[in-house]
Amino acid sequence: MLKTRRKQNIERLYKSKNNDSKIRFLYKIIVFTTDQQTKNLFYRGSFKVFKQTQYKKQNRNGTRE
């Protein structure tokens, strides 16, 4: 149940309009998840999102490069 709910949340995030925090959230999931099913969900079409958005790393003090 938990996994399916998580997957639904992820799908909802992915389908909604991407603003920066959502992109960062997706990035975290892709990089850190070990659940293969969730990864597959993303490897299908996710990296288009990253190419569209200039994903910039945050410094420790919160400013962007």
What does the domain layout of the chain look like in residue ranges?
A: 2-52
Provide the pLDDT confidence category of residue 16 given band limits of 50, 70 and 90. low
Q: Please give the Cα distance from 61 to 8 (Å, whole number).
A: 33
DSSP state of 5: H
pLDDT at 15 > cutoff 60? yes
pTM of the complete model: 0.24
**8-12, 13-17, 34-38, 49-53: least confident range:** 49-53
pLDDT in tens, 18-55: 566 666 666 666 655 556 665 565 555 555 544 444 44
Tell me phi and psi for residue 53, to 5 degrees: -100, 130
Tell me phi and psi for residue 63, to 5 degrees: -85, 160
In the 3-class helix/strand/coil scheme, how is 10-51 assigned residue by residue?
A: HHHHHHCCCCHHHHHHHHHHHHHCCCHHHHHHHHHHHHHHHH
